[in-house]
Structures are given as structure tokens and as C-alpha cells.
Amino acid sequence: MSALTLQSMFSAMVQRDLLLALRRRADVLTTFFFFVIVVSLFPLGIGAQPDTLRAIAPGVVWVAALLASMLALTRLYAWDHADGTLEQLVLSPQPLVILIGAKVLTHWLVTGLPLVLIAPLLCLQFDVPAGAMGVMVVSLLLGTPCLSLIGSIGAALTLGVRGGGGALLALLVLPLYIPVLIFGAGAVSASAEGMPVGAHLSLLGAFLLIALVLGPVASAAAVRIALE
């Protein structure tokens, strides 16, 4: 199969999933507003204490982004599984890894990217310095795709599980999210304190590369197992 054909197939899959997401705007908006509300509640609860707000801002934003990303994971494969599309994708002659990669990219575009774009505005509530705000955006750009890639594995493993699927998914992916959370929030904290952030961002970049290589492969294998 030529590279052009694979690229066309990948683009078509992304366009299809984006169109489906737009038709289910309520689910997409739920994730976005969950993130906004969770982050905005902390300044209201703590009060006007700039030093405290600046100290907790990295952790609050990153934990909210993690939970918001996980909120949408259960729907990553559920819709296609319910209508039989996922079985057709598995049986199609196209590489399942490429199709899974397209679905994960779409998941990040509709859930992760909006969080990255709104984060600087929300950071104003915490009196975060401009430099740290820029590091926040970069860390989220590197980290939120990792959350989608890792979460796709958990979503595939819990595919078809009734009742406790959401709880099982959380148990599977939360331990794997911890390194991304630590170094993502750590980069912003280091920037706010005037310390170098290169090591934190380099590790986030390394996590992203590893997730890009292994995530779609593991997700495709998990989907095949779940459908057997």
C-alpha cells in the first residue's frame, strides 16, 4: 500500500470522526466545560491569595486536564463498537494501527486541543506569570496527546465491559498518567520559580514519542482481543 493511499485513508478517517464529533457536540462540550468549571472553582474556594494561587495553579490545571481527557475516553471506541463499524475496521484491508491512530488524533483534537487553547485564559485567575503561562501551553501540547494515546489503550481493553467499564478504565490508565502529570505540572512550577524547564519538557517529549510508537500498536491489539 503506497504512502499516498495511507495518508488519504488517515485523513478520511480523521474527517469522518470529526464530523461525528460535531454531530454529538454535547459530549464534546461536556469535556470542555468540565475542565473550565473545575479550574475556575479553586480560585473561588481559596480566595484572593496570589501566592497560594500561583503555587497550586500547575497542579490544578494539569489534574483538571487529566480528568477531562479521561471523561471522554469511554466514548473513544464505544460508538463504533455499538453500530458495528469497529468490526468492519478490523476486517478491512487497511492497517488497523493507522485507523486507530486517526481515531486517537481526532480524540485529541476535540478534547485535548481546546483545553490547551483555553488554559492561558484560565491561568489569569491564578495570577500565573506570562513566562510560566507559555510553559503551561507547551507542556499541555506535549502532555495531552500522551493522555489520549495512553487512554486509548485502556479504552480498547475495557471495550464491551458492562457496568464497571468506567471504573476499570480509570484503574488502568491513572497509574500510567502519573509521570505525565508530574513532569507537566513540574515544568510550570519550575518556570514560575525561575528554574530551568528543559529537563521536564524533554521528558514530556520523550513520553510523547514512546506513546506515539507504542500507543496505536497496543490499542489495535487490544481492540482485536476485545472483539474476539
Q: What is the per-residue pLDDT for 162?
A: 66
> Can you give the three-state secondary structure of the chain, one letter per residue?
CCHHHHHHHHHHHHHHHHHHHHHCHHHHHHHHHHHHHHHHHHHHHHCCCHHHHHHHHHHHHHHHHHHHHHHCHHHCCHHHHHCCHHHHHHHCCCCHHHHHHHHHHHHHHHHHHHHHHHHHHHHHHHCCCHHHHHHHHHHHHHHHHHHHHHHHHHHHHCCCCCCCHHHHHHHHHHHHHHHHHHHHHHHHHHHHCCCCCHHHHHHHHHHHHHHHHHHHHHHHHHHHHHHC
Q: What is the per-residue pLDDT for 84?
A: 81
- Expressed as residue numbers, the domain containing 30 is 3-227
Residue in 86, 88, 84, 204 with CA at minimum distance from that of residue 136:
204
Q: What is the per-residue pLDDT for 1?
A: 52
pLDDT along the chain (228 residues), means of 10: 70 87 82 92 82 88 91 82 82 86 92 92 87 92 94 86 70 91 92 89 94 93 84
Q: What is the per-residue pLDDT for 90?
A: 84
Q: What is the per-residue pLDDT for 2?
A: 55
Predicted TM-score of the model (pTM): 0.89
Count: domains in the chain: 1
Q: What is the per-residue pLDDT for 4?
A: 54
